[in-house]
Structure 1
Amino acid sequence: MSFKKMHNQIFTVGLTGGIGAGKSTVGRVFETLGIPRFDADKYAHKIYSKEDEVREAVVERFGIEVAIIDEEGNASDIDRLKLSAIVFENEKDLEFLNELVHPVVRKGFETWVNRIPSNIPYVIREAAILFESGSEKGCSFVINVSADEVHRIDRVMQRDNWSKKQVVERMNKQLKEHIRIEKSDFVIFNNPEDQILNQVHQIHSKILSHR
């Protein structure tokens, strides 16, 4: 366990995991313990409709086909499914998108965390690409949510109505599971037989002991 004490900011714990692992489910459990959670992926989804410069850069790079057109004929949002189908087929396109979106997400987190009351022991920073974006550098601890591949595939197929082939292709584009585990301070196992409540409570207690 590599405890990193961050100065001049609230104690931050990173939460990550591969597609279908169930990191948001785990994040919601932490919320029941009174721990605020910043969902970077959900925040990123809203950027395209709120940030004109980001939306315009996406349309310029990938074409008007990825835009959602409003009643006035303007590109008011981005179709994330169409965009994902493009960027996950091209490493340079994915890198471009991450470099475009991540600074905005980071700024959003900083704004959010500055509003957190000082009596809160720590916050959760949830992100699928926590390591890839370098966001783990601002975290005192990192938790990885892990699950067997068969369960992850089944969850995403049911949740997003994807084919098995689509899920596996997306998994293959993400950071390898063993690398995420090696880089993390804690691992929560989220297979059907696992008790995530007990795991979260144990990790919560360990984090509080380092405050």
Structure 2
Amino acid sequence: MPADLTVPFIGLTGGLGSGKSTALAALGRLGAMTLSTDAVVHELYTDDAELRALVVERWGDGVAPGGVIDRGEVAKHAFADPGERKWLEQQIWPRVAQKVVDFRAAANAARAGGADVPAAVVETPLLFEAGMEQAYDATIAIVADEAVRAERASARGHHAVDERAAAQLTQQEKADRATYVVANSGTVEELEEALSSVLGRL
């Protein structure tokens, strides 16, 4: 595909409570096509019968009461033990990867059809941890003050916050490895302005 018809493919990441989802929504308002891998996982848990069967076989009926996967129960098993987390990732990541490939193709097709698409952005919490940065043209790390992050994480009632944080690189490590770093401790308007600047540089 000619370079001018290939949409910049961007990985968006950040630590727990940094405001990745808020940043993704802002990028969408700025015209980018966006995909949340968390939303993809949620969709897989809801719609993928094979994945549901694997999770129940591994951890018992308690993780899928009424035949619906309970993400909180899954998190208790997966984040409490590195081996269990790795097993879950091996089930989920190939499925998510296919959705990402399809999303990128759709973005390129939209631009080829005349749509003004400044970027195709995929929110991936474990972008660097999974070694996925090479798949993207550039990466954006969203960062926020530690106090702000802790407040956001607890307000959302995350299960096993400490274990989740331990599974991730530190905020500084993510920032050091990212192409662009965007601060998100202020207003949504300030965040959107900073992200607009990044899109302009792409």
Alignment map for 1:82-93 (pairs within 5 Å): 82-93=73-84
Cα distance in 2 for partners of 1:9, 1:32 equals 20
1:36 aligns with 2:33: yes
TM-score (norm 1): 0.83
- Structure 1 residues 161-180: aligned runs within 5 Å: 166-180=160-174
Partner residue in 1 for 2:69: 78
User: What is the rounded CA distance, in whole Å, between the counterparts of 1:86 and 1:37 in structure 2?
Assistant: 30
Higher mean Cα deviation, 81-90 or 110-119?
110-119
Q: Please name the residue that 2:87 is paired with.
A: 96
Aligned to 2:177: 183
The structure 2 residue matched to 1:159, chosen from 145, 156, 176, is: 156
How far off its partner does 1:132 sit? 2.3
Gaps of 5+ in 1: 1-5, 70-74
TM-score between the two structures when normalised by the length of structure 2: 0.87
Q: Which runs of 4+ in 1 moved over 4 A?
A: none
Amino acid at match of 1:99: Q
In structure 2, distance between residues paired with 1:203 and 1:121? 11
Partner residue of 1:112?
103
CA contact (8 A) 2:31 2:118 kept: no
Q: How far does residue 198 in structure 1 lie from its aligned partner after superposition? A: 2.4
Q: Which runs of no fewer than 5 residues in structure 2 stay unpaired?
A: none
**Structure 1 match to 2:198:** 203
Would the aligned equivalents of 1:12 and 1:124 in 2 still touch at CA under 8 Å? yes
Contact kept? 1:102, 1:133, Cα under 8 Å: no
Report the equivalent of 1:72: none
How many residues align? The count is 192
Identity, % of aligned positions? 27
